[in-house]
């Protein structure tokens, strides 16, 4: 049974293999941008944005937990 995190992942089960240094650098840049995006998304809540406090409901809190797990897995 696949979890929501597994079904929505853009990543394959095996890491990509770069054929040369330029391709490896491009992959690093892409992954770095994704990492920054996820970190910024984790930091956004009603206290530091224009969101109202009720918008931080259980669904958003669960989403943040999933993102934190993803961030931990990436690092």
Q: How many angstroms separate the first and last alpha carbons of the chain?
A: 25
pLDDT confidence bin for 4, thresholds 50/70/90: very low
Question: CB under 8 Å to 66, separation ≥6 — which residues?
Answer: 4, 5
pLDDT digits (tens, 9 = 90+) for 7-48: 455 666 788 888 999 999 999 999 999 999 988 887 776 667
Using a cut of 0.75, tell me whether the model's pTM lies above it: no
Cα 70 to Cα 5: distance, rounded to the nearest angstrom: 8
Token duo for residue 12: 């394959």
pLDDT digits (tens, 9 = 90+) for 47-58: 677 766 666 677
Q: How many CB atoms lie within 10 A of CB 57?
A: 9
What's 47's DSSP letter? T
What's 40's DSSP letter? H
């Amino acid at each position: 049974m696949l979890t929501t995190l597994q079904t929505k992942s853009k990543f394959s089960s095996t890491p990509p293999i770069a054929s040369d240094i330029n391709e490896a650098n491009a992959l690093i840049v892409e992954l770095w941008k994704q990492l920054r995006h996820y970190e910024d998304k984790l930091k956004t809540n009603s206290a530091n944005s224009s969101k109202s406090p009720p918008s931080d409901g259980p669904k958003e809190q669960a989403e943040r937990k999933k993102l934190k797990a993803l961030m931990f897995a990436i690092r």
